[in-house]
């Protein structure tokens, strides 16, 4: 039904001809460095966030040769792109946002004509390179530099690092930010292999999301060192990532290790001690891990996400360091993306649930394998509560509650949690053994390829349902994938998961004494269930008593601290404000920063002046992903001091 693009191209026929079956499997395994990943055609696979027209000409490999210029906050050098063009093509269109282009040539250095088109606030500009007379070139080389405010990159001052002595750089490419530092076709459906040579001043070390070829770097002159990397599996271009700073490495297991600033290394390694076991558990669930090493880097606190699943090198926020591994579900999540997201990737962003819903489901399965049913059941119940919250906030019939959603609502309670609930519902309907076998074969059949919702459903019908009409009816696949709300066959969490906590909560909410709440003996999940279940209208004395009894303001666990601060702000509880300000200044994770500002902003006359005062101070420390979201919330007036 949905054909791959083999007609327009004479190459890659073996890898492109069939959507299912074991032949393709073998082709994916045998694919060498220069083999080309297929591109999906069909309306459901059309990416509206790229200017590229891959059916005319597409990028197959990116080779970067860049200097990291900390003084001027720019990446500068060349990008050499391998391209494949259809017969008669005259041009190739790339994505670019804020890039300063100096020259474009072919591989022999002959200048090529190019033009930057009109600028779109989100998509940036098309960079169109014309081929001239004769056959299309096989390579184009672009000499350029990124802008100092490139959205993908955050250049930190020494004061923004734990060590305080050297600057730091990291990138965040998802969803469409890499075009601010790499001129390529920035679409998840156009997979590309890549290599890079990056220079940085000593003693900075550079790491990237690929194989490290020069661990200590080579002398590049001028007290700079050059680092080389390579990724020979075709990846979605948002997965090209870089970090550079005063960082050190420690091994965690035979193929796992952690990078972070030296001052953070002991803490990070202790929190990550189960990483190798997680990889083993994930392989038992999903099939072989195909990326070689699985390392992680624990970044400075301004990293805007919990984690980013950059291949071979997961990027992590330091806010998951709780001291007791109670927040390491984050690592299981990013690891799970090595299959759902990196191996099989959403072809376009409205299909994001294929990355995040699958991954949230696998995260929970990995947690169960390592820590047992109880912890997994509790985390599943917390996830289910997020679906219910999203349905209340968006409206149960709102378009934004569909799994495949192009409304722009982007609710994590839907994309992550409803997505996971869909897979859990299938698992519990067909049985775990059968569903696990299906998913392993799904990753095999579609390894290193893009995926759409329609394609997933047809694969499921062909390989799991196999004409069983009764099963088809029970699963309600189209309702799950395309309709708003929650289908009535949803697998609900085990009511026993939080039975004891819910009893304590009910007693407390009925006016009971704080002394009767066994908070200190609870797990992190149980504490979150309790805090999130407290009313948003409570007398100040009761809040003060809670804080005294459980030491909430001083919590070293970012999730429970966040839950407490949200409760306190919703209650307009002034004693919590200094702690809110410390938390908002001390980290820049959007998941924490944006809701706290939302709560302040919602408490109009009381909260808005506080929000303005704090944001003026903290905004410069945030990555664009976080500051952009808060900017939209507060509007222009929010950025000025009250």
Active site residue ranges: 334, 416
The torsion angles phi and psi of 592, rounded to 5 degrees, stand at -95, -40
Least Å distance, CB 631 to Zn ion, is 24
Least Å distance, CB 337 to Zn ion, is 6
User: Given the rule CB under 5 A, which of 241-249, 290-298, 343-351, 357-365 is the region that contacts Zn ion?
Assistant: 357-365
User: Given the rule CB under 5 A, which of 225-233, 349-357, 375-383, 546-554 is the region that contacts Zn ion?
Assistant: 349-357
HSE of 111 in the Cβ direction (CA atoms, 13 Å)? 6
Tokens of 519: 């908070």
Does the CA dihedral 548-550-555-561 come out positive or negative?
Answer: negative
Least Å distance, CB 309 to Zn ion, is 6
Cross-strand bridge partners of residue 84: 58
Nearer to Zn ion by Cβ, of 354 and 580: the residue is 354
d(CA 601, CA 609): 9
d(CA 455, CA 18): 12
Nearer to Zn ion by Cβ, of 125 and 314: the residue is 314
Residue entry with tokens 């952690």: 258
Nearer to Zn ion by Cβ, of 359 and 558: the residue is 359
Applying the rule CB under 5 A, the residues between 359 and 398 that interact with Zn ion are 359
Nearer to Zn ion by Cβ, of 235 and 580: the residue is 235
User: Given the rule CB under 5 A, which of 51-59, 137-145, 356-364, 435-443 is the region that contacts Zn ion?
Assistant: 356-364
Nearer to Zn ion by Cβ, of 265 and 629: the residue is 629
d(CA 585, CA 618): 5
Least Å distance, CB 554 to Zn ion, is 30
Least Å distance, CB 445 to Zn ion, is 22
Least Å distance, CB 316 to Zn ion, is 12
Nearer to Zn ion by Cβ, of 154 and 359: the residue is 359
Long-range contacts of 277-282 (CB under 8 A, 24+ apart): 277/370, 278/331, 278/332, 278/335, 278/366, 278/370, 279/253, 279/255, 279/335, 281/366, 281/369, 281/370, 282/332, 282/335, 282/336, 282/338, 282/339, 282/362, 282/366
Nearer to Zn ion by Cβ, of 5 and 415: the residue is 415
d(CA 555, CA 564): 9
Least Å distance, CB 352 to Zn ion, is 9
- Pair 167, 70: CB distance under 8 Å: yes
Q: Using CB atoms within 10 Å of the CB of residue 10, give its burial: 0 to 12 exposed, 13 to 18 middle, 19+ buried.
A: exposed
Phi/psi class of residue 341: alpha, beta or left (left: φ > 0; alpha: ψ in -120 to 50)? left
Dihedral angle of Cα 128, 131, 133, 136, to the nearest 10 degrees = -140
User: Given the rule CB under 5 A, which of 5-13, 121-129, 281-289, 348-356 is the region that contacts Zn ion?
Assistant: 348-356
Least Å distance, CB 413 to Zn ion, is 14
Q: How many residues bind Zn ion (CB under 5 A)?
A: 2
Applying the rule CB under 5 A, the residues between 524 and 553 that interact with Zn ion are none
Least Å distance, CB 359 to Zn ion, is 5
Name the DSSP class of 53: -
User: Given the rule CB under 5 A, which of 23-31, 64-72, 351-359, 398-406 is the region that contacts Zn ion?
Assistant: 351-359
CA distances, 38 to each of 190, 234, 440, 535, 562 (Å) = 8, 10, 21, 52, 43
Tokens of 541: 């004395």
User: Given the rule CB under 5 A, which of 54-62, 350-358, 475-483, 614-622 is the region that contacts Zn ion?
Assistant: 350-358
Name the DSSP class of 289: -
Phi/psi class of residue 453: alpha, beta or left (left: φ > 0; alpha: ψ in -120 to 50)? alpha
Nearer to Zn ion by Cβ, of 4 and 335: the residue is 335
Name the DSSP class of 621: G
Nearer to Zn ion by Cβ, of 315 and 498: the residue is 315
- Pair 94, 116: CB distance under 8 Å: no
- Pair 180, 150: CB distance under 8 Å: yes
Residues at the interface with Zn ion (CB under 5 A): 356, 359
């Amino acid at each position: 039904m949905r054909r791959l693009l083999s007609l327009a191209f004479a190459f890659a026929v073996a890898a492109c001809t069939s959507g299912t079956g074991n032949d393709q499997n073998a082709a994916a395994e045998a694919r060498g460095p220069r083999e080309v990943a297929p591109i999906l055609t069909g309306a459901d696979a059309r990416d509206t966030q790229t200017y590229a027209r891959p059916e005319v000409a597409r990028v197959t490999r990116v080779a970067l040769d860049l200097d990291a210029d900390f003084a001027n906050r720019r990446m500068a050098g060349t990008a050499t792109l391998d391209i494949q063009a259809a017969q008669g093509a005259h041009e190739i269109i790339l994505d670019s946002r804020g890039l300063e282009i100096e020259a474009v040539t072919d591989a022999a250095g002959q200048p090529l004509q190019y033009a930057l088109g009109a600028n779109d606030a989100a998509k940036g500009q098309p960079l169109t390179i014309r081929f001239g007379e004769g056959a299309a070139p096989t390579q184009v080389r672009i000499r350029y530099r990124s802008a100092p405010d490139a959205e993908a990159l955050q250049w930190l001052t020494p004061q923004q690092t734990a060590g305080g002595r050297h600057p730091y750089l990291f990138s965040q490419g998802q969803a469409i930010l890499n075009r601010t530092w790499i001129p390529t076709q920035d679409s998840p459906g156009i997979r590309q292999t890549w290599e890079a040579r990056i220079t940085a001043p000593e003693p900075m070390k550079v790491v990237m999301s690929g194989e490290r070829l020069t661990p200590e770097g080579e002398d590049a002159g001028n007290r700079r060192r050059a680092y080389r990397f390579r990724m020979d599996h075709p990846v979605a271009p948002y997965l090209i990532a870089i970090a550079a700073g005063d960082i050190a490495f420690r091994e965690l297991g035979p193929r796992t290790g952690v990078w972070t600033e030296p001052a953070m290394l002991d803490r990070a390694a202790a929190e990550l001690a189960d990483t190798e076991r997680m990889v083993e558990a994930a392989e038992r669930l999903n099939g072989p891990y195909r990326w070689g090493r699985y390392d992680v880097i624990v970044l400075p606190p301004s990293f805007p996400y919990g984690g980013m699943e950059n291949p071979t090198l997961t990027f992590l926020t330091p806010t998951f360091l709780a001291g007791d591994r109670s927040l390491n579900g984050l690592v299981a999540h990013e690891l799970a993306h090595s299959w759902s997201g990196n191996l099989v990737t959403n072809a376009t962003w409205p299909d994001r649930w294929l990355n995040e819903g699958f991954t949230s489901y696998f995260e929970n399965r990995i947690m169960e394998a390592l820590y047992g049913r109880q912890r997994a059941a509790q985390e599943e119940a917390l996830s289910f509560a997020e679906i219910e919250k999203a349905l209340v906030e968006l409206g149960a019939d709102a378009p934004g509650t569909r799994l495949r959603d192009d409304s722009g609502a982007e609710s994590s309670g839907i994309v992550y949690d409803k997505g996971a609930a869909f897979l859990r519902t299938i698992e519990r309907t067909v049985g775990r053994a059968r569903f696990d076998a299906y998913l392993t074969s799904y990753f095999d059949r579609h390894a290193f390829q893009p995926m759409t919702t329609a394609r997933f459903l047809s694969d499921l019908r062909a390989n799991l349902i196999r004409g069983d009409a009764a099963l088809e009816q029970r699963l309600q696949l189209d309702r799950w994938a395309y309709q708003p709300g929650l289908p009535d066959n949803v697998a609900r969490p085990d009511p026993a998961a939080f039975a004891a906590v819910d009893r304590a909560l009910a007693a407390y909410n009925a006016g009971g004494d704080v002394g009767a709440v066994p908070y200190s003996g609870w797990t992190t999940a149980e504490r979150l269930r309790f805090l999130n279940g407290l009313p948003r209208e409570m007398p100040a004395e009761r809040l003060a008593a809670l804080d005294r009894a459980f030491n909430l303001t001083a919590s070293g666990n970012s999730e429970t601290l966040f839950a407490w601060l949200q409760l306190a702000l919703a209650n307009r509880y002034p004693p919590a404000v200094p702690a809110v300000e410390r938390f908002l200044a001390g980290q820049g994770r959007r998941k924490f920063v944006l809701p706290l500002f939302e709560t302040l902003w919602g408490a109009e006359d009381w909260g808005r002046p506080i929000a303005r005062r704090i944001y003026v101070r903290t905004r410069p420390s945030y990555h664009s992903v976080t500051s952009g979201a808060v900017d939209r919330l507060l509007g222009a007036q929010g950025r000025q001091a009250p």
